Structure 1
Amino acid sequence: MQETSLIAPNKRRLVLLVLSAALLIASCTRANAPAKDLKAEIDEAAATLIEQPLLHSTSIGVVYRGEEIIVHRGDMQAGKPGPPTDATLYEIGSLSKTLAGSLMAKAVLERKLSLDDDVRKYLSEAYPNLQYEGEPVRIRHLLSHTSGLPNMLPELANTVLADFTDHRTPSRLNAIYANYGKADFLKDLHEVEIPRAPGKKYSYSSSGTELTAHILETVYKTDYESLLRDFLRDSAGMTDVGIRLSDAEASRLAVGYHSDNAAPTTPMPQLPWGASGNVKTTVPEMMKYLRFQLAGGPVVTQSHRTLVEFDSEFSIGYFWNIVSGDRLKGIYYAHHGGVPRSQCYIYIVPKYDLGIFVITNQSGDHTASAMEAAIDTVVERIAAREAALARQ
């Protein structure tokens, strides 16, 4: 999973659009702003996005003050007509971590565990290495990427990912994880060296999320994927979401491209638990997730709670990046997801009761910044609407 900084997104000039006559009638309110106009603007942002080099297609989903808008643009496979659809299953990469964070928030609220628990409490073997000068790695450190655990286990995967755009990267990852299971992960965990006091320094760790899944399995005595499916069904009404796909589901999985390789590449290999980057779902299902986040129930509120503040603009909750100081967006919650053939973003922007999900079926060095530009455009359009409506 490629890490993308959300601390200082690019700033772009705010463009105030002239609203149509339909928006100027006295009865117009924020709740009934014509969806067709905003959808056209989102579609325009999607069209601009796929004009970027190497991008084949995109899907953008928006929930704005209770209204849902989904647009699909481009062709999934180069030279072969066929846009993504509402039935397309996407790999959402590290957005999977926010789902794990929600499950952990639920466990904390149910008093199944505590944020300050030593992670070794939930491991069946002794791990004297999971501490630094007597300070143990705690659950809160996993959630805030301050544990000191490496990004990936086994360590070899980090070497491969260091040159992410190398055309050999997907096949090398496939080879590393071909027979790498939970027992292998727990064995390798014995060899980890914690380099500093936990809780101090941000260092992105997918292995920390995998360990989070193990802890959840331990306290609930159920496999992680079942926990996840049941939770998302019961809390958000999500039913077309999972980690391991059936043959029928696999046939709907989006084709994807790695870096500048013209040939489609293979899916992200299966990680031991899959909590850090293996979730697959559709855009309509992500709309349900956006609604769940915007509703702000107890689990969401807990998962958005600041665990570590790194500076005045960047904090982290239960795997959520919390960004403040943005004049246009206000305080917002976001996460990037990346696998070798797909990248995506999720933004939760309470200022506008707004949720945005954008995904492409290409993964390269410039994919994230192109998606950020599309997101900024959507937010600018919505901010312009809000400003015009406020003047009425």
Structure 2
Amino acid sequence: MTAVLAVVTSTLTPAALAAAEAPEKLAATVERTIRPLLAQHDVPGIAVGVTVGGQQYFFTYGVASKELQTPVTKDTLFEIGSISKTFAATLAAYGVVTGKLSLDDHPGQHMPALKGTAVDKATMLHLGTYTAGGLPLLFPGAIKSEADATAFLQKWKSSAAPGTQRRYSNPSLGLFGHVAALAMKGDYTDLVEREILPKLGLAHSYIRVPQAAMADYAWGYDRTNKPVRAGTAPFAAEAYGIKASAADMIRYIEANIRPDNLDPLIRRAIEGTHVGYFKVGDMVQGLGWEQYPYPVPLERLLAGNSDKMIFEPNAATALKPPRAPSGPTLFNKTGSTRGFGAYAAFVPEKQIGVVILSNRNMPIAARIAAAHAVLEAIADGK
């Protein structure tokens, strides 16, 4: 394991101050929590980033490439999978604050090919919260192009009224990001890479990894230990296309914890992704991020990220009016691709956050349990 520390002066809560003043205790918690995952799940490499009141800690394990034996560093690029959806949400929220679209818009207003279809009965809000009426988890395998995806959506039939049921869906969030970009008169990838990432101060995060950064791009490993990376697919950029380092992901988490230091428009966009719109069990669904009152038991986090929540429809109750959290709240999002697994969580009121990036799609429960243990150690000042 290697650890890197960068310090930024900030006001910490007493418990967070205790954790920040004893980084060896934090390192011990990460070590006993993370290292066993390498063997238990045959993970080649893991990068962990932790922020405590503006102080950043990085812990790295293993290799980014088994073939080259390249060590993981805080700058190694990992596919973050569906955590990418929070960036799509940020772009859409940026479109809202700049007056380019409204969450009450219907997709057909900006994508005429969908006007009058079943999916056009949903609003942008429904697409961004997986409540459009039962869009599937994935497009069928035969869908290979944007034209194929559009044809599928034109024929799709809903199974529930918009706003009544949450069904986790790449096509739903992917369409959300795609239509937001159309409303902003741009290409989704260009807008994220040229507008959103720079405004967030993320200089080493990409949808299209440039040649100059390819040496930092880890290989993921599938169930057969074959080295893999994500390919192209309709709305892939929007749903799971970001590649980022632990260092950049901690910057992103800190931007969510304290957006007041950002440009006013991107600050308002970040704050827009923290608004809750639907209650689904013990979880509140916002745009991209999922919310829980803090402190939150591990069992509740696991239930909110369970197979039932991912693969099955769940009743959704609209929050009227939609609202930002009124007390300490944990925001989280999981992400996976065929060869990578990721998890990010943060509590703005406590100024704490953690990200775990791995180049194997290890079980979601393992990622969440590890992150929960780290956050608990920080919060308790251990």
TM-score above 0.5: yes
Q: CA deviation at 1:82?
A: 3.5
| 1:66 to 1:150, Cα distance in 2 relative to 1, 3 A | same
Residue 103 (structure 1) aligns with: 91
Match of 1:83 in 2: 71
2:255 match: 292
Q: Secondary structure at the match of 1:59?
A: strand
Q: Does 1:282 pair with 2:245?
A: yes
**Pairing of 1:204-223 with structure 2 (within 5 A):** 204-223=168-187
In structure 2, relative to structure 1, the CA distance for the partners of 1:107 and 1:79 (3 Å cut) is: closer
Pairwise CA distance, 1:81: 4.1
Q: Distance in 2 between matches of 1:230 and 1:282?
A: 18
2:338 to 321, 340, 343: 340
Matches within 5 A, 1:251-330: 251-259=215-223, 261-264=224-227, 266-273=228-235, 274-296=237-259, 297-311=267-281, 313-324=282-293, 326-327=295-296
> Hey, what does 1:74 align to over in structure 2?
62
Superposition TM-score, scaled by structure 2 size: 0.79
Within 2, Cα distance between the matches of 1:53 and 1:91? 18
- The separation in 1 between residues aligned to 2:91 and 2:293, in whole angstroms, is 25
Q: Give the distance between the partners of 1:79 and 1:226, measured in 2 at CA.
A: 33
Q: Secondary structure at the match of 2:213?
A: helix
Check conservation: 2:65, 2:218, Cα contact below 8 A.
Answer: no
In structure 2, do the counterparts of structure 1 residues 370 and 68 end up closer, same or farther at CA, with 3 Å as the change threshold? Answer: same
2:95 touches 2:101 (CA, 8 Å); kept in 1? Answer: yes
CA distance in 2, matches of 1:384, 1:51: 28
Farther off after superposition, 206-215 or 65-74: 206-215
**One-letter code of the match for 1:220?**
M
C-alpha distance after superposition, 1:248-290 (max 9, x if no partner): 433432122123x1332x2122133411011111111112101
One-letter amino acid of the counterpart of residue 63, structure 1: T
Decide whether aligned partners of structure 1 residues 83 and 251 sit closer, same or farther in structure 2, where only a CA change above 3 A counts. Answer: closer
Moved more, 245-254 or 140-149: 245-254
Give the AA of the match of 1:276.
A
Aligned residue identity for 2:379: A
**What is the match of residue 193 of structure 2?**
229
Letter in 2 for 1:123: M
Say if 1:46 and 1:59, in contact at 8 Å, map to a contact too. Answer: no
Question: Which of 206, 211, 236 is 1:247 aligned to?
Answer: 211
The answer to whether structure 1 residue 115 and structure 2 residue 103 are counterparts is: yes
Report the residue type matching 2:341 in the other structure: Q
Which SS does the other structure have where 1:232 is aligned?
helix
Cα displacement (A) at 1:78: 4.8
What is the RMSD of the two structures over their aligned residues, measured on CA atoms?
Answer: 2.5
Per-residue CA deviation, residues 124-164 of structure 1 (Å, 9 max, x unaligned), is 22543325xxx8111110111111222222x23xxxxxxxx
CA distance in 2, matches of 1:284, 1:137: 37
Distance in 1, matches of 2:215 and 2:109, equals: 41
User: What is the rounded CA distance, in whole Å, between the counterparts of 1:221 and 1:305 in structure 2?
Assistant: 25
Please name the residue that 1:21 is paired with.
Answer: none
Map 1:87-236 to 2 at 5 A. 87-131=75-119, 136-147=121-132, 148-153=134-139, 155-156=140-141, 180-236=144-200
1:349-364, aligned counterparts within 5 Å?
349-364=347-362
Query: Which runs of 5 or more residues in structure 2 are unaligned?
Result: 1-13, 260-266, 299-327
Q: What TM-score results when the alignment is normalised by the length of structure 1?
A: 0.77
Q: Are the counterparts in 2 of residues 46 and 72 from structure 1 also a CA contact under 8 Å?
A: no
Q: In structure 2, do the counterparts of structure 1 residues 244 and 82 end up closer, same or farther at CA, with 3 Å as the change threshold?
A: closer
Within 2, Cα distance between the matches of 1:47 and 1:299? 36
Q: Is the 8 A contact 2:109 2:115 kept in 1?
A: no
Residue 42 of structure 1: how far off its partner (Å)? 2.3
Structure 1 unpaired stretches of 5+: 1-25, 157-175, 387-392
Could you tell me which amino acid in structure 2 is paired with residue 270 of structure 1? T
* Cα offsets for 1:59-86 (capped at 9, x unmatched): 1001111100111012344586442113
Give the distance between the partners of 2:206 and 2:21, measured in 1 at CA.
35
Structure 1 CA distance for aligned equivalents of residues 70 and 175 of structure 2: 39
Asked whether 1:371 is paired with 2:357, we answer no
Equivalent residue pairs, number: 330
- SS class of match (2:46): strand
Distance 1:315 1:79, change over 3 A: same
Match of 1:50 among 38, 45, 70: 38
Secondary structure of 2:336's match?
A: strand
* Counterpart Cα distance in 2 of 1:206 and 1:224: 15
The one-letter amino acid paired with 1:333 is: F
User: Would you tell me which structure has more strand in proportion to its own residues?
Assistant: 2
Paired with 2:67 and 2:154, the residues of 1 have a C-alpha distance of: 48
The sequence identity of aligned pairs, in percent, is: 24
Which sits farther off after the overlay, 36-45 or 74-83?
A: 74-83
Between stretches 57-66 and 43-52, larger displacement belongs to 43-52
* Equivalent position amino acid for 1:321 in 2: E
Quick check: 2:113–2:150 contact (8 Å CA) kept in 1?
Answer: no
Task: Give the whole-Å Cα distance in 1 for the aligned partners of 2:54 and 2:349.
Answer: 14
